A and B are shown apart, each in its own frame.
Chain A
Amino acid sequence: MRVRVAGSWMVAMLALAIASLTTPARAGGPTGTEARRPEIQTDPVESARDARALAARIDAVLAARWAKAGIRPAAISDDGEFLRRVSLDLVGKIPTAAEARDFLDDPAPGKRAALIDRLLDSPAYTSHATEVWRRMLLPEADTDDDARPFASTFAGWLRRKVVEDAGYDRIVREILTAKLDAPQSDLDIANGVVRAVPSPSPAAYYLAKGRKPESLAAGTARVFLGVRLECAQCHNHPFASWKREQFWSLAAFFAEVPGEGNDPTRMMRRERPAPVRELTIPGTKKVVAATLLDGTKPEWRPRAGTREILAEWVTSPENPYFARALVNRVWARFLGAGLIEPVDDLDGETDPELKALLDEVSDQFRAHGDRLKFLIRTLTATRAYHLSSAGNGAGRDTSATGPMFATMPVRGLTPLQLFDSLTRATGSGQPGDRARFLELFSGGQERPSEAETTIVQALTLMNGSYIEAATNPTTGRILGAIVDAPFLDTRGRIETLFLATLTRRPTPDEMAKLVEYVERRKSNDDRSKALADIFWAILNGPEFPLNH
């Protein structure tokens, strides 16, 4: 049984006490914006058709671009490469050996599209998508101890949104209008014991930003609008036209956010002070009023909160930045580079062709209810997404011309993708391993296509206890099963090792050499060790820890 409880943030977060039982209003309900929206396509069959049509449009634009630059794109990926890629991208881990075998041996011509549908409907997609959203919206939880405890309430809330297939506009509106003064915890009554647990809520967004108007403004601009305003915090932006005053005018929308030093009992006294909609720029005497980034004065309404007005403007169909910022990021996630780079700066220079393409995809995204799945169906149906990552030329060096998307870039895995894939490939994992891996492999490049292996990571994967146990036939679950399987010969064992790790069968050349490597041993024990060596070599090799 779950009961809603109101209390102060600290109370809720620490789950220490329950102040009073009330029925607070639903956090962040829909605002008036939806009424004004143009018609939205929600029928799944129609949407899927539209996604394919949009993918074809993207294909045409890119093909023209390749022709103009005289570039021949890479070959279409083979089934193994594609299965591995789409599994990592949609569910965050590689497929099992059995899944790989089934897919490779499936003769159906439409199997790639069917696979995407299957993955998008799987529970693993929900977990992975929640994690991807969380990393985008609450990146602080990865790097900041103080923010970490809030990741779970935020993720719990996000998970609900993913399950509901909520539109991106609604997700952002709920964040921007999150109730902060009456935080909630759920009363969890199990076995007669009552515990207060923080309710899933987007309010962690504010805590992770230290509840500072300037951090909230910078985050809002960068993530939701693809506009980098941080520098305008201290001085006028040297390149773009953002001014310091504009920055603080945006921050003023968050002037009311209860700060750290605030009296936590303030709200319980039910005071209703007049809304605060202005800020003093620190270090100056200048007071600025909440003003939208495009310079318009907000139209306040008696019953609409300050942040509600901001949320309406941010997610409004007329706001050119909102959908583009997201589409550009998701594009980069699936195709290795954004249409505009860096991905969180839509003011960045780009080719007009690519900018027009971003506009077109963004408009379609909005016309389909800001649904992420529509965007994913579109991008994964493009030819660019199906291209191989192999090949030396094909417009890899794109700094002069902007990205060509003519070869799939090789991308590093996130720490979680790597760990989940290792776990899947080896069947091993102790409770402490996960945290250690996430710690060791985080902090790297922001751009997956420039991911670097560090020396310490190499040492851990070569000599660390996790890999040691996983590559020992007596302790490694998957390896042990393959080594002991009575129905497999050496070739079958080697093939299964490849399918379980690299989602492909060995090439004839690899197979010949590896069979020899195993069979030249006399005893069964030595042959097992040789298979363990192969497993170790694959896990440590360059192909396993990369999405290609």
Chain B
Amino acid sequence: MNRDLFRASRLSRREAMRLSVASAMGVLGASSSGWFEALAADAASHPGRRKSCILLWMSGGPSQTDTFDPKPGHANSGPFKAIETAVPGIRMGPHLPKLAKQMKDLALIRSMNTKEGDHSRATYYLRTGYLPQGAVRYPTLGSLVANELDDDSVELPGFVSIGPVRSINPAAFSSGFLGPKCASLNVGERTIAGATAGDGGASSLRVDDMEIPRGIGRTRADDRIGLMRELGGGFVESRPGVPTSSHRSAYSRAVRMMRSEAAKAFDLDTEPAALQDAYGRNPFGQGCLLARRLVERGVPFVEVTLSSVDGNSNGGLGWDTHAQNFDAVAKLCEVLDAGWSTLMTDLRTRGLLDQTLIVWMGEFGRTPKINENAGRDHFPNAWSTVLAGGGLRGGQAIGDTGVDGEQIKNRPVSVPDLLATIVKGLGIDPMKQNLATDGRPIRIVDLKAEPIKEVLG
């Protein structure tokens, strides 16, 4: 058994046992069935509900001035007029009216200070908590959380990524040294910019090929998987490493999902049409709906990427509004407002909002000053992220960027601070150490991180 694959995982013994049971029962022997049963025979007791996290990832770097840190009365606002929210004194951009009504469940962090203005590096930084350096492959947030909270009795993967654009920096979407067992299941992935299925609807978020082909039947499928494991066993043993262990891991996960009722989560058509409408008939809106269904079924980390609207791709960086910022932001906000606000209402109705932490962030903010193309450029100096639900203290804005938004006036928040707050909010110790591939201990979040205590309450 490959030690790396199971190291540092609380699932290790059970998972390892199951894999060895399966390979010991080689189909070439008398008992040719049983692999699926061995997988499915986990009648483990549900260890009580843990928290989940939904990350709304804003690819390209959203403008804080036009969303969560408006500057009413200042030229930097451009044509946008801020609106009131449910919390007196806190205002928002004009195209988020539904979210504004739920301000009491939102904590705005208006004083992000991150110093990294390159899409690729900043994406890595925000998504892993570390700057790319040396040989260490830092895991992305979803993998870190899945590693802690994944529940083995849940047959879905612990980390599902909806509509990711990994090509911006594949390493920023990787499970890094945590290995393939913490890798994401990617749904509706965009390798290219633009809509995947073109219909902006639920079908693009389906997981294809989950059914055994007609005419094969379960016994034969069982035999085939047994053969595959038996024939490949020697190869995997003699060639340890990511390529072989990820192959084994992906097939185990895939087979479990094929057999599981939980895979029905991906069938969004069972939801009332009115609810689907409310989320928005677009990949992000339907992605939010799918996120709720996954969280409901025990998936600890789901991320939904908003990278484009109207098929206007902008290279997979929809929020990268260097030109014509206001038109683009208005359209993006319309999609965002519907999807996110409905997600919160829906979770609240089901009693899940307090256990589900929603994070809104991109890789950086945008310049408060408007450039000559009516656009805004990269701005890591003073920008906004938002935390919502999850039992955190909402109804507040952390930090202040003054009248023009160009400088942080108080309470700067770093990337490690933000990630430590998220992780702690999920009940995980941010200072816990994982072992990197070379055996070096690496904390979930950097040692100098200080969780935002006003938010954690």
Contact = CB atoms under 8 A, between A and B. Distances in A.
Interface of A: 142-146, 148, 230-231, 233-235, 282-283, 341, 349, 389-392, 396-397, 399-400, 409-412, 439, 442-446, 449-460, 462-465, 468, 510, 513-514, 516-517, 529, 533-534, 536-538, 540-543, 545-546, 548
Contacts of B232: 541-543
A142 B190 CA distance: 11
Given A445-B171, A453-B246, A457-B250, A410 B239 contact: yes
A542 B244 contact: yes
Contacts of A517: 27-28, 227
A234 B114 CA distance: 13
B238 A399 contact: no
Given A452-B180, A456-B189, 16 more contacts: A341-B135, A392-B240, A399-B135, A410-B243, A446-B171, A450-B243, A452-B183, A455-B250, A455-B257, A462-B258, A464-B209, A537-B227, A538-B228, A543-B232, A543-B235, A546-B243
Contacts of B235: 541-543, 548
Contact of A443 (B170, B228, B437): B170
Contacts of B247: 453, 458, 542, 545-546
Contacts of B180: 452-453
Contacts of A145: 192-194, 313, 315
B262 interface: no
B170 A397 contact: no
A231 B118 contact: yes
8 contacts: A231-B118, A391-B238, A392-B238, A456-B207, A462-B209, A462-B255, A464-B209, A534-B227
A463 to B, nearest CB: 4
A230 B367 CA distance: 19
Given A453-B180, A455-B253, A390 B238 contact: yes
B223 interface: yes
Interface in B213-254: 213, 216, 220, 223-225, 227-228, 230-232, 235-236, 238-244, 246-251, 253-254
B208 A464 contact: yes
B28 A516 contact: yes
B166 interface: yes
B66 to A, nearest CB: 19
Nearest to B254: A458
B203 to A, nearest CB: 15
A409 B120 CA distance: 27
Given A145-B194, A234-B118, A458-B251, A452 B213 contact: no
B250 A452 contact: yes
Given A397-B437, A459-B254, A516-B28, A452 B243 contact: yes
B202 to A, nearest CB: 17
B315 A533 contact: no
A512 to B, nearest CB: 9
B411 interface: no
**Of A399, A464, A537, which is in contact with the most chain B CB atoms at under 10 Å from its CB?**
A537
Top 8 nearest A-B pairs by Cβ distance?
A: A537-B227, A143-B167, A234-B117, A541-B232, A458-B254, A452-B246, A537-B228, A463-B209
Contact of A148 (B27, B118, B192, B246): B192
Interface string B397-429: 000000000000000000000000000000000
B117 A399 contact: no
Contacts of B378: 234
Contacts of A451: 242-243, 246
A513 B229 CA distance: 14
Nearest to B189: A443
A47 B449 CA distance: 57
B9 interface: no
B137 interface: yes
User: How many residues of B sit at the interface, in one of the four size bands?
Assistant: 35 or more
B121 interface: yes
A537 B230 CA distance: 9
B28 A454 contact: no
Nearest to A463: B209
B153 interface: no
Contacts of A439: 191-192
B174 A445 contact: yes
A162 to B, nearest CB: 26
Contacts of A533: 220, 223-224, 227
Contacts of B174: 445, 452
B118 A233 contact: yes
Nearest to A540: B228
Contacts of A458: 247, 250-251, 253-254
Contacts of A462: 209, 225, 251, 254-255, 258
Interface in B426-448: 437-438
Interface in B104-148: 115-118, 120-121, 134-135, 137
A529 B193 CA distance: 42
Nearest to A517: B28
B157 interface: yes
B241 A409 contact: yes
Contacts of A443: 166-167, 170, 189, 191
B176 to A, nearest CB: 10
A233 B377 CA distance: 13
A142 B192 CA distance: 7
Given A399-B438, A410-B243, A452-B242, A142 B231 contact: no
Interface string B281-324: 00000000000000000000000000000000101100000000
Contacts of B115: 235
B363 to A, nearest CB: 13
A536 to B, nearest CB: 5
Contact of A442 (B28, B191, B213, B258): B191
B85 to A, nearest CB: 32
Nearest to B244: A542
B236 A542 contact: yes
A396 B240 contact: yes
Given A399-B437, A455-B250, A449 B243 contact: yes
Contacts of A144: 192-193, 315-316
B24 interface: no
Nearest to B234: A507
A463 B171 contact: no
B262 to A, nearest CB: 13
Nearest to A498: B231
B212 interface: yes
A73 to B, nearest CB: 15
A283 B322 CA distance: 12
A463 B211 contact: yes
A233 B121 CA distance: 12
B410 to A, nearest CB: 23
Nearest to B253: A455
Contacts of A548: 235, 239
A208 to B, nearest CB: 11
A537 B208 contact: no
A455 B254 CA distance: 5
A146 B313 contact: yes
B1 interface: no
Given A399-B135, A516-B28, A538 B242 contact: no
Given A516-B28, A533-B224, A542-B232, A456 B186 contact: yes
A484 to B, nearest CB: 19
